[in-house]
């Protein structure tokens, strides 16, 4: 499964468990990023807390939760916001590896896990901007 239907997105936030679930997934993801030799050097700030909050708010908004991300950051424009970082297959794989750990440990139903994972794989592929 890749892109979810609008109906799936509309119900995901509530049925998956709301903010608490997104908090858990993204916090776990950044625990992995903090120890990842490929990813950690890409993050410009020493404190990963603000980056964690941005990703959490973005995912909550994408999956049908509050629109706090856009109130604070405007339109997501993720390709543009990732342009400063060289993202090739190695970086994409590292990102997905950290995210896989976080999603697998989140206690989601099989359906929610598959839906979320399909989206994250598709999104990570679409943000690649380097093939060297």
* Residue 76, φ and ψ in degrees, nearest 5: -60, -45
Extract the tokens encoding 40: 């950690």
Q: Distance of CA 62 to CAs 68, 94, 119, Å? A: 11, 22, 10
Which 68-127 residues touch ligand HEM, going by CB under 6 A?
Answer: 73, 78, 81-82, 85, 87, 91-92, 95, 120, 123-124, 127
Q: Which two tokens stand for residue 81?
A: 């916001």
Q: Is 54 in the site for ligand HEM (CB under 6 A)?
A: yes
Residues near 58 by Cβ (< 8 Å), separated by ≥ 6? 69, 73, 76, 78
Nearer to ligand HEM, 45 or 46 (CB): 45
24: contact with ligand HEM by CB under 6 A: no
Shortest Å, Cβ 18 to ligand HEM: 18
Among 42, 100, 118, 129, binds ligand HEM (CB under 6 A): 42
- State whether the Cα torsion 107-94-63-116 is positive or negative: negative
Min dist CB 68 to ligand HEM, Å, is 11
**Footprint of ligand HEM (CB under 6 A):** 39, 42-43, 45, 51, 54-55, 58, 73, 78, 81-82, 85, 87, 91-92, 95, 120, 123-124, 127
């Amino acid at each position: 499964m890749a892109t979810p239907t609008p109906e799936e997105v509309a119900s995901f936030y509530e049925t998956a468990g709301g903010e608490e679930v997104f908090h858990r997934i993204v916090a776990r993801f950044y625990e992995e990023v903090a120890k990842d030799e490929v990813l950690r050097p890409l993050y410009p700030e020493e404190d990963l807390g603000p980056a964690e909050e941005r990703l959490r708010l973005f995912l909550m908004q994408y999956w049908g939760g509050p629109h706090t991300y856009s109130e604070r950051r405007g339109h997501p424009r993720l390709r543009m916001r990732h342009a400063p970082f060289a993202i090739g297959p190695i970086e994409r794989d590292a990102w997905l590896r950290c995210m896989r750990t976080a999603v697998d440990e989140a206690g989601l139903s099989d359906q929610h896990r598959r839906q979320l994972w399909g989206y994250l794989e598709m999104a990570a592929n679409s943000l690649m901007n380097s093939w060297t």
